[in-house]
């Protein structure tokens, strides 16, 4: 697998300037649009990303984000940046987005990706928004080739996602697609979407492996269930979700690879 996952890909096309009608001052308010824009924007085109972009707990590109000024998503500060395009998630800071639109600033909204098949669509949409279609096409080709080289046939290992508050993820989710691509059977595949899973039901599903969230620093009652004596008694191999799992970007490839290594 060609490994571009530690840095923005495509040195041969990232320095090309955007098209003449492309926005020249772009601000991102959302963690996932931050990362797509950082991967595709021409030098100087992206002028600010959200504060979450530089937080290594949710951001797969925290190190790269240090190269851009951060914003807190407030309408006043965004307006003063004089952007000609603002990038936002479908549910991002709705009051801020609404105010910016009333002020005449174009806003491009992105839906969260709910599966691996939606990653190319999000890349394409960002490429079009930035006038960086060629860069997006090259990134998609690389993503699809790497995904093909990574993908395993689903085997016998049965895994369950079990996170803070006993939250799990079933079919129709990015997490489920990552598990399947890694060759794992999701024991909750018969349940669409996500929700709380009673510990008793988890035990009766008898997974071979647990995929849990990385604990945040400090005490959290919601995370206490992850150290419950019943889970400890199951003595199952564990893997952790992390920032690579969150957004529909090529960094999901790293999540697949890490999960395959944990399952060996």
Q: How does pLDDT run across 45-93, given as a tens digit for each residue? A: 999 999 999 999 999 999 999 999 999 999 999 999 999 999 999 988 8
Give residue 93's region: left, alpha or beta (phi > 0; psi -120 to 50): left
Name 57's Cβ contacts closer than 8 Å, sequence gap at least 6: 214, 216, 243
Chain mean pLDDT for the chain: 90
Percent of the chain with pLDDT over 70: 91
List the domains of the chain with CATH numbers: 26-148 (3.40.50.1980), 158-263 (3.40.50.1980)
Maximum alpha-carbon separation in the chain: 62
Given a contact cutoff of 8 angstroms between Cβ atoms, the answer to whether 248 and 117 are in contact is no
Average the pLDDT over 118-143 and give the result.
97
Structure tokens at 176: 């489920």
Give pTM, 2 decimals: 0.90
pLDDT value, residue 8: 44
Is 29 in contact with 96 (CB distance < 8 Å)? yes
Q: Is the dihedral of CA 58, 89, 33, 71 positive or negative?
A: negative
122 vs 235, higher pLDDT: 122
């Amino acid at each position: 697998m060609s490994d571009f996952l530690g840095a923005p890909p495509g040195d041969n096309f990232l320095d090309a300037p955007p098209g003449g009608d492309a926005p020249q001052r772009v601000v991102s308010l959302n963690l996932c649009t931050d990362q797509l824009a950082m991967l595709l924007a021409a030098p100087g085109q992206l002028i600010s990303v959200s504060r979450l972009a530089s937080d290594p707990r949710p951001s797969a590109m925290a190190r790269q984000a240090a190269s851009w000024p951060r914003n807190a998503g407030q309408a006043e500060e965004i307006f003063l940046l004089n952007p000609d395009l603002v990038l936002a998630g479908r549910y991002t800071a709705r009051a801020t987005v609404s105010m910016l639109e009333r002020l005449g600033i174009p806003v491009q909204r992105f839906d969260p990706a709910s599966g691996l098949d939606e990653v190319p669509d999000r890349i394409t949409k960002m490429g079009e928004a930035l006038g960086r279609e060629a860069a997006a096409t090259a990134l998609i080709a690389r993503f699809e080739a790497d995904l093909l080289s990574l993908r395993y046939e689903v085997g016998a290992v049965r895994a369950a996602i079990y996170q803070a508050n006993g939250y799990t993820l079933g079919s129709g989710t990015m997490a489920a697609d990552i598990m399947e691509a890694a060759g794992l059977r999701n024991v909750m595949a018969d349940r669409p979407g996500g929700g709380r899973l009673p510990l008793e039901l988890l035990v009766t599903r008898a997974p071979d492996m647990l995929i849990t969230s990385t604990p945040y620093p400090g005490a959290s009652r919601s995370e206490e269930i992850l150290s419950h004596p019943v889970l400890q008694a199951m003595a199952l191999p564990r893997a952790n979700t992390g920032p690579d799992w969150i957004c529909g970007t090529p960094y999901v490839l790293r999540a697949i690879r890490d999960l395959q290594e944990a399952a060996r």
